[in-house]
């Protein structure tokens, strides 16, 4: 197999993300969002909310991290934040999926993807953390971001949302302020209970 064929096979394998439905819906609620759509939209969110990142954050790098951040789902599928899954188990499954996917790449391209993915998973750089915060914020905007509309979620409460999302989004005050605004509006409209 030529290097070009390896690149092509890797790339075509990622088409799978157009067939995986996320838990959240698109903005008008008409259907679930695909993982591929989320990946694009959250990179656009990075460009939109770039000023919410700490000074010196490399936004281009955040965009790259978000472009690849869900590739592991090609083989590992989506893990919903409310499932209370074992985090270590999820991380192990996602690492296995990453290794399997990136093994299809030629040596010339593998490090580029493996390093971006490892950086996102390790959550040590400010770029990886800001990317993860946007990733956690995005479904809140999709569900309740429309002032006056939004979906009722009887299975969730503010208490549960804050417990899950604040550790991820909280370190970036402008992002967390936006999350709190969206959550408060959902409560005011009776779409979401406090506890």
Write out the residues near a copy of itself by the rule CB under 8 A.
4-5, 7-8, 10-12, 14-15, 17-19, 26-28, 33-34, 36-37, 39-41, 43-45, 47-51, 60-61, 63-64, 67-68, 71, 108-109, 112-113, 141-142, 145-147, 174, 177-178, 181
Smallest gap from Cβ 90 to a copy of itself, in A, equals 22
- Distance from C-alpha of 57 to C-alpha of 175, rounded to nearest angstrom: 15
Smallest gap from Cβ 141 to a copy of itself, in A, equals 7
Q: Are 73 and 97 in contact (CB under 8 A)?
A: yes
Smallest gap from Cβ 71 to a copy of itself, in A, equals 8
Q: Which residues lie closer than 8 Å to 19 by C-beta, 6 or more apart?
A: 34
- Which of 77, 106 has the CB closer to a copy of itself? 106
- Which of 34, 157 has the CB closer to a copy of itself? 34
- Which of 112, 195 has the CB closer to a copy of itself? 112
- Which of 43, 57 has the CB closer to a copy of itself? 43
Residue pointed to by tokens 């509309």: 149
Contacts of 149-153 with C-beta under 8 Å, sequence gap 24+, read 150/185, 150/186, 150/189, 150/191, 151/25, 151/29, 151/191, 152/190, 152/191, 152/192, 153/191, 153/192
Smallest gap from Cβ 47 to a copy of itself, in A, equals 6
Region of 173 please: left (phi>0), alpha (psi -120 to 50) or beta.
Answer: alpha
């Amino acid at each position: 197999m030529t290097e070009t064929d390896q690149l092509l096979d890797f790339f075509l394998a990622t088409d799978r993300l157009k067939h995986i439905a996320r838990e959240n819906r698109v903005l008008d609620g008409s259907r679930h969002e695909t993982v591929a759509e989320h990946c694009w939209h959250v990179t656009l969110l990075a460009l939109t909310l770039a000023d919410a990142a700490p000074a010196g954050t490399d936004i281009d790098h955040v965009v790259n991290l978000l472009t690849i951040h869900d590739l592991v789902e090609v083989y590992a599928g989506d893990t919903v934040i409310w499932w209370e899954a074992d985090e270590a188990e999820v991380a192990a499954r996602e690492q296995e999926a990453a290794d399997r996917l990136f093994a299809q790449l030629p040596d010339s391209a593998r490090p580029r993807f493996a390093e971006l993915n490892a950086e996102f998973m390790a959550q040590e750089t400010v770029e990886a953390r800001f990317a993860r915060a946007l990733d956690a914020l995005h479904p809140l905007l999709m569900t309740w971001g429309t002032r006056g509309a939004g979906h009722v979620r009887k299975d969730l409460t503010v208490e549960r949302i804050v417990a899950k999302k604040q550790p991820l989004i909280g370190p970036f005050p402008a992002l967390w302020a936006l999350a709190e605004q969206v959550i408060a509006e959902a409560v005011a409209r009776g779409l979401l209970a406090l506890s």
